[in-house]
Structure formats: C-alpha cells, structure tokens
Amino acid sequence: MPPAVALPDRKPRSADAPAALAGLRVIDFTRVVAGPACTQTLGDFGADVIKIEQPVRGDDTRSYEHAELGGESAAFLSLNRNKRGMVLDLAIPQAREVARALIDKADVVVENFSSAVMEKYGLDYPAVSSTNPGLIYCSISAYGRTGPFAWRSGFDPITQAESGFMSLNGFADGPPVRTGPPIIDLATGMSACNAILLALAARQRLGRGQHVDVALFDIALAMTGFSGMAFLMNGKNPSRTGNSPNDSPTVGVFEASDGPLYVACANDRLYQRLVTDVLARPDLLTDPRFSSRKARSTNRVQLRSILAEILASERMDVWISRMNQAGVPVGRVRNVEQAFDAAEVRARDRICRIPHPTAGSIPNIEPSITMQLTPTVEPRAAPRLGEHTFAVLREKLELTDHEIEALRRVGAFGPVDPTIPA
C-alpha cells in the first residue's frame, strides 16, 4: 500500500558533493527516541551507522501504533534513516564478542540502555576504551550515568514533569501539560549529537576519545530557559501563560473572521507597526493605558479585548498581507495536514518519498540542517530488523560464511530454528 499522501521523489544531491561525516564509524545500541534521533543525524551526514537490535522484537518503536507502511511503524521509520541494521543477542557470549569486535573498529558508540546493562555485558566505556582509546562513547539516559539517581529509568514525560518544564506549559487556569511531540527526547538527541561532534573535535586536538554523558533530566531542566533563570534571580515560581509569553497582550492567538492567527508583537517597535500600519488605530499608541510596554502589561485584559474585536472583523488573508507588509510577525495556526501542505514546505523541499523494500516507497521528512558544501547523503530508509547482519559481519569483521553459521547456531542472532540441525 503506498503512502496516503502523494509526495514527489527526492531531488538528488550533487554526485561530487562530499559528506561531512564520511568515514566515521558508529555503533548504535540505541532504541526508542533520543538515541535514534542522535544517530540518525550522524547517518544523514555520511557516517556509517550500524544499528544493533535485539532479535525477534527489535527496537520498541517498530511496534508503535501511529501508522504503518510495509510492516514498519511511522515512529521507527522517522528515527532510523541512513543506518544499517543487524541483530545480536547480547546474552550470548559469542554475540558479545562480535559486539566488542565491532566497537574496537569504531569511532563512536552510542547507547541508551538502563543503568549497568553495558557494564554487565562487558561493553561499558572503561572496558572497551582500553583497546580503543580514541573511541567516543556516548551514554544517553534519564538521569545520567553518575550520581545517586543513575539507577532510575525514565522517559520524556517523566523528565518534563520532574524538571518543572511541564509546569510552564498550558493555561493558568488549567493543569500542567506535556508537549505533544516528545520534545525532551528530541532535544536530548540533538544535544547528544552535538556532544559527539565536540568530542570528535577534541580528539583531533588531544588524540584521545572520551565518555559523553547526556541525560534527559538535565536537558529538560536547561529547557526551562529564561523562566528557570528568572526563578533563580527573583525566587518567584513562574506560572503558565498559555499561548502568550509573560501573558503579553500583543503576543498569542487571535481569531480572525475565518480562523486563528498567531501574532507576535514582542516590543515597542512592533506594537507601533501593528496599531498604526496594520490596524489604523494610532489612538492605541497614544492612549496612556497602552503607550508603554509596562502600561500594556498592566492593562493587558482591556488591550487584548480591543485587539481581539478588531482582528475578528476581517479574514486571515487580509491580516497576514497587512502584517507582512508592515513587518509584523504573524502566522496561521495550522493543523498537521495544513502545515505539510504549506508553501513553505514545498518551496524548501522539506518532504518527499524515498524507496523502501517492502512498502515500495515511504514518506521522508528531510533533515532540518542545510549545508551548502556537505549536504545530507541520499536518504536510505530505516533498515528492516536484522537486514544487514551478515553483510556487516563479512565487511567489518571479515567473517566467513562458516563463522557466521557457527554464530547463528549458538543463538547469536536470536532463537535457533530447531528444524535446522546443529
């Protein structure tokens, strides 16, 4: 079954364009969201990412329920592009030996197992760095790999809740709200990718690798941003302000006659443009209640009511045209369908379709980073479970068919088929 939304083929990259991370060897033990998001970016820019999954079930996101094409879930396909996939049962000693051999030849290892799992298998940083001192070893976890809370497992919404981040989302008269997309997971993946690139730059200067520790809780705490900083400065607990930062009367969602707009007049200059050039209401600038930012904040209810009444009198297109001409930031409040059909998406080739071995083709959301000299590589769909196991063993470890068969028979790649003689 083809994708429900018709998409264009991807425009090919220049054949002679170099890849930023070509030659970088990454062993990826991650699953779910934060880790795969990190390693996908490395793969998008040319790293050879080998994703190791447990046999039979694989990454949990393979069974997520959002949508499915060709036997693969939307979640898995969205997070595992440009990787090669293999299966290893790390409970089997011979499989651990294979994993160790792959790590010995790698530049980067990324893992997000529960605490002490890699140590139990003899694949933790102290164990593997002794034979590969240049290795960058990135551990992603909920609460870090050190300290009294390292044992705790956790997921994006838990760290949103515990960090105070969730308390900042929602409206003042409602409960705290988690973000729809797993923003802490995704931000942690981005931060882990940044950390790996920083460690690679350091290795180039210092000649040695290091252990990189990235925790969801730390990222969530940092993402309280200036609200967290303000609390540390004034001791006041920040409140929820809905769609208007600091409860600003000139920033937030307003209803035009045919739908919602988001207007962002965050300073005096933009407010002047709004009331004079767009709304033709200069009295809203000279009125003492609204003549300064402080006055507008004090009289926010009255001002917002006036603005809402004016904006409700005309269609979105009219207001957008006027605000764009005046340089006032404005945008439509779109649903996902409207956003993916928008001119901004089409003009920058943000979505396309790419080949898939069982679905024929699948949708592809392009990486959000654009580089002129070293663009992303041609996208390759997320691997089927264990798709490249034997090819990786032959290429990376130079194993023979006989040696691979011996591994299969001891269960290194999952349960042994009893109908095949040992």
Q: Tokens for 93, please give them.
A: 């000693």
* Cβ neighbourhood burial of 230 (10 Å; 0-12, 13-18, 19+): middle
Angle (CA) 281-285-291 rounded to 5° is 155
Listed in sequence order, the DSSP H helices in 348-400 are: 389-397
How many Cβ atoms are within 10 Å of 88's Cβ, its own excluded? 25
CA atoms within 13 A on the CB side of 291: 5
Q: Tokens for 247, please give them.
A: 């409860």
Angle (CA) 285-291-297 rounded to 5° is 120
Do the strands 25-29 and 48-53 form a parallel or antiparallel pair, or are they unpaired?
A: parallel
Q: Looking at the DSSP assignment, which residues form a beta bridge with residue 263? A: 252, 330
Q: Tokens for 370, please give them.
A: 């654009």
From 124, 185, 213, 218, the catalytic residue: 185
Rounded Cα–Cα distance for residues 198 and 204 (Å): 10
Q: Give, for 308, the enclosing helix (H) or strand (E).
A: helix 300-311
The dihedral sign for the CA sequence 157, 50, 114, 38: negative
Q: Which among 183, 192, 191, 195 is positioned nearest to 159, based on CA atoms?
A: 183
* Cβ neighbourhood burial of 149 (10 Å; 0-12, 13-18, 19+): middle
For residues 292 and 298, the answer to whether their CB atoms sit within 8 Å is: no
Rounded Cα–Cα distance for residues 77 and 66 (Å): 11
Residue 287 is among the residues annotated as catalytic for this protein:
no
Q: Tokens for 323, please give them.
A: 């605000």
Catalytic center residues? 185
